[in-house]
Structure 1
Amino acid sequence: MSTQDINIWKELEAKQDEIKKLRNEINHKIKCSQAKYDEKTKKIKSILLVLSQQIKNQNDNIERCFKVLQTCIPLFSTTLMMFQKLTPECNDNDKNKLNDNYNEKSQYIQHIKNRLELLNEHKHLIITHQKSLQNSIDQQGQILTKAIDDVYADFDSSQSLDNE
């Protein structure tokens, strides 16, 4: 073998070593990228799981508010009926008739008081459910903002690594 052939072989071996190093670097970058991808996928899955749970909670809160409102309608209806029964009698000037109906009016008034107390309780229930719903919406917004910030931060850092 001539010196020229030996030099060509040495140059070929050097190029093969260089190719091997490049291949190892590329494989390392691929593994790092895969690890980042897997990490981001896990983050996104957990975020979606949290969002899914929050949406379920929001729907539950909305359903509870709706049920409370549904129970308020009959309360309003019966309370208004009692007011209608009381109103004509209170405007009547005949004192005998007013005295005769005193017990009945007392029952109406007590019924109205009870209904108003129930309505007040329902109002507090609705307020509680609305606050819970608002808290859930606020948390969801914070999680989405954090997720978007993380994705952009990871994207920006991967862009700067790619440029190196």
Structure 2
Amino acid sequence: MSSLRTLLVMLAMPALPLLANLDVRTFGAAGDGRTKDTAAIQRAIDEAARRGGGTVRLEAGRYLSGTLHLRNGVRLHLDAGAVLLMSPDDDDFAPFEPPPTLLSNRVTRYAFSTRGVPRAASLPPTEDDSETTYMRYALLLGEGVSDVVIEG
């Protein structure tokens, strides 16, 4: 009777998708701190989302990257010893204008820095966009996504 009850419970449960567990190195990431790994990491994120969600894992290493676009249901996990580095190349970052709902009176300024030098300070004066609401150099973007986790 116990096994029949277990079977009935299992049949009544909805089928859960098998969540992906993807290593960015299988998508071509080098993790050497010199090679730009943006495309490989993004391919892993997109594949996890295509499969209905899951974990994208960065094993120990130094991953040089520009903007990564997060997707629904994706967990970005950095193992011990894994470092996600911002690329020093401005062209590796996607521009992002946040919707007005993100710019409240409680938040007055965003700042990102690379190697301890604020980005605006490293730009020629004609390119300094620090006085606008325009956010540049976002390493992780997740516009309109849900069920996203960044850990490690």
Mark yes or no: TM-score above 0.5.
no
Structure richer in strand, relative to its length? 2
What TM-score bracket applies, with the shorter chain setting the length? Answer: under 0.3
TM-score (norm 1): 0.24
Highest RCO, 1 vs 2 (Cα 8 Å, sep ≥ 6): 1
Query: Quick check: which has more Rg, 1 or 2?
Result: 1
Structure richer in helix, relative to its length? 1
